[in-house]
Amino acid sequence: MPHDITSILTDLINGTSPLHQVRFASPVDPIPNASPRLTIVLEGGTHDAVFSSVGFIADLQPATLLSIIFGKQQLTLQLQRDTTVLLQQQVARRGPRIGAFLLQTLAELQMQPDEQATARLVVLSLLSHCRDLLGSDIHTASRSRALFEAIRSHIEEHHAAPLTRESVAQAFYISPNYLSHLFQKTGSVGFNEYLTRTRLEHARQLLKGYDLKIKDIAAHCGFTDSNYFCRLFRRHTERSPSEYRRQYHSQLTAKN
């Protein structure tokens, strides 16, 4: 069995893996105000096809289970063997509340034990909905990463220009707030901090390879105030630009 939740969902939806021994715990069953939880036995267990509201499948161990917890803001999908969690994946619940309607339908079907065929179709629809959310999440993450890399290239190419959060956001037709969110989430650093690091890295390369005045290096790297550039440089390297250059060339001479 693949340890990949999307593949497991696909196999269940397509009938490649049998859908049997399914338990559904609604918010009122067994614990009031708990999140709805769908648990499917993938391997193990001893019973035939059963859709039940009795609760979790603790009595069917040893077994491999796929549990889906439908929280208000996100889904938690968990692959479990006996008491060991093999894989857990979370995805935001967004868009039309298709899942909420399906959960409501499944909760109502609990009171109609003869409607097994209908319950099976609803469960399959829920699994398809979960797979769509996972696919959408991967697609969104991929697009965010591609956008982030494009913005990084833009900063690298135009680091000497008077870049601001607003001007970069406008260049990519996004809001400044989204730009900040993108850097914090994808780059784990703020936009201004990333811009400063990029400019200082170019300054270090110029200090190593060119005999330019400090004020000219500052200007070449997008700093309009050379004193501010020197303060920033010392803050990040614990040396002034001149000290950095002297130390680099001393080490280079010693190696030769």
CATH number reported for the structural domain that contains residue 224 in this entry: 1.10.10.60
Enclosing H/E stretch for 84 = strand 84-92
The answer to whether residue 123 is domain-embedded is yes
Task: Name the token pair of 109.
Answer: 């079907």
Are 165 and 184 in contact by the 8 Å Cβ rule? The answer is no
The answer to whether residue 96 is domain-embedded is yes
Residue owning tokens 């161990």:
61
Q: Are 128 and 202 in the same domain? A: no
Other Cβ atoms closer than 10 A to 16: 10
Task: Give the single-character DSSP code of 74.
Answer: E
Q: Are 53 and 134 in the same domain? A: yes
Q: Give residue-wise pLDDT tens across range 141-181.
A: 667 788 888 898 999 999 999 999 999 998 888 888 888 88
Q: Are 132 and 208 in the same domain? A: no
Residues 6 or more apart from 120 whose CB is under 8 A from it? 19, 49, 51
Q: Are 96 and 9 in the same domain? A: yes
Beta bridge partner(s), residue 66: 40, 79
Domain boundary pick from 139, 156, 173: 139
Are 66 and 5 in contact by the 8 Å Cβ rule? The answer is yes
Q: Are 231 and 115 in the same domain? A: no
The answer to whether residue 167 is domain-embedded is no
Q: Are 105 and 199 in the same domain? A: no
The answer to whether residue 232 is domain-embedded is yes
The answer to whether residue 188 is domain-embedded is no
The answer to whether residue 87 is domain-embedded is yes
The answer to whether residue 91 is domain-embedded is yes
* Total tally of structural domains belonging to the chain: 2
Residues with pLDDT less than 50, the chain = 29-31, 47-59, 96
Range of the domain at 92: 5-139
Q: Are 15 and 106 in the same domain? A: yes
According to DSSP, the β-strands at 51-52 and 22-25 are parallel
Q: Are 129 and 233 in the same domain? A: no
Are 25 and 55 in contact by the 8 Å Cβ rule? The answer is yes
d(C-alpha 224, C-alpha 98), whole Å: 54
Q: Are 125 and 208 in the same domain? A: no
The answer to whether residue 146 is domain-embedded is no
Q: Are 16 and 119 in the same domain? A: yes
